[in-house]
Chain A
Amino acid sequence: MDPYAYQTFRVIYEATSAIICFILVRYMIKPYQITRESRYLGLPLGFGFLGATYALSSFVYFQPYFFGNRTIYFQLVVRTLAFVFLCVTYFFSRRSGDSRRLWNTTIALLIIAFLASFLLVIIPDIALPNYQLTSSFTRILNLMCIVYLCVHTLRSHIEKPDPKTLWIPLGYFLLGISQYSLIIYAIDNSMSAWWGALAIRWAGLAMFLFVSYKSFYNIKKEMNK
């Protein structure tokens, strides 16, 4: 593929992914707004961080020399943190109110990890590990988080079967396949795995958008009847 066309495609692709994530943040923040329970903050934070990394990727493809090489490490770490935020939200959502202190500690630790990763990237004297190795490690970690999310949401669906609750495990499953394809790409440079990962990521994010829209739009229609 022509490098200029590829660069343009990636700018648009990453920007679109970021826009989808930021639209999702608008919906994901509603549980916190209505309940004021801080344990639901992980949903908007997770999708917000994910969107921020996609927006950064888009900018990096648009202006490759603006930030320098260290930005790619920052993206890897923040993307992993995004999935960890989602995991802890699901984990704590099943626990009763007495775990509030534990949740606050966890979220504080995650924010410290985010700031530490930011400092690691901006301080030029710190030697960073091999990129290939770091990316493989973080993608495996992402995959583990997504498997947890998938199992958790699927378990909720099995406990109270309802066709409405099947889409989200499917969305996480697609994000998992996308991460898995990226690992395959990191191992053997397979371009079909790479393109597949990009397409499946879009499908996964679109699934979340569909569920959010369906949820808020359908109830409005029912109440108007």
Chain B
Amino acid sequence: MKQIARRDRLKIYGDLLSLLYAESREENIVLTHVQVQLKVPFDRLKMYISELNDLGLIQDQTSLKLTEKGKQYIVEYGKVLDFMKRMGVAYR
């Protein structure tokens, strides 16, 4: 079985927010789609969503829409990931 490298919380937040942002273009956000793509158990996904809500990065735990702060976070996150890729620095 292929082992998934350990991810820190900031990376999970970044990945989760990016997925929620991509999914929000659809009519409804399907959490199981997000769970499969994020590769985390469902209970942990719910925990991360609750943490994002507490941090003010999503509007509420039902709609899962990103706040302005959440959108700003993924912009910064995307820039840094792109920079690291260009620099040849691995981020796992």
A contact set with B: CB distance below 8 Å: 27, 30-31, 33-37, 40, 43, 89-90, 93-94, 96-97, 152-154, 156-157, 162, 164-165, 167-169, 211-212, 214-216, 218-220, 223
Q: How far is the CB of A200 from chain B (nearest CB, A)?
A: 20
Given A35-B91, A90-B88, A97:B83 Cβ within 8 A: no
Interface string of B1-40 (1 = CB under 8 A from A): 0000110101100100000000000000000000000000
- CB-based contact A223/B8 at 8 Å: no
22 contacts between A and B (CB under 8 A): A30-B79, A30-B83, A31-B83, A31-B84, A33-B80, A34-B76, A35-B80, A43-B89, A96-B5, A96-B6, A97-B5, A97-B8, A153-B88, A154-B88, A165-B86, A168-B86, A211-B86, A212-B83, A215-B83, A219-B75, A220-B79, A223-B75
- CB-based contact A43/B8 at 8 Å: no
B contact set with A: CB distance below 8 Å: 5-6, 8, 10-11, 14, 75-80, 82-92
- CB-based contact A216/B83 at 8 Å: yes
A167 to B92, CA, bound (A): 22
- CB-based contact B11/A153 at 8 Å: no
Instruction: Please give me the residue from chain B that is nearest to A150 by CB atom.
Output: B88
- CB-based contact A35/B8 at 8 Å: yes
Q: How far is the CB of B75 from chain A (nearest CB, A)?
A: 5
A132 to B83, CA, bound (A): 38
- CB-based contact A31/B86 at 8 Å: no
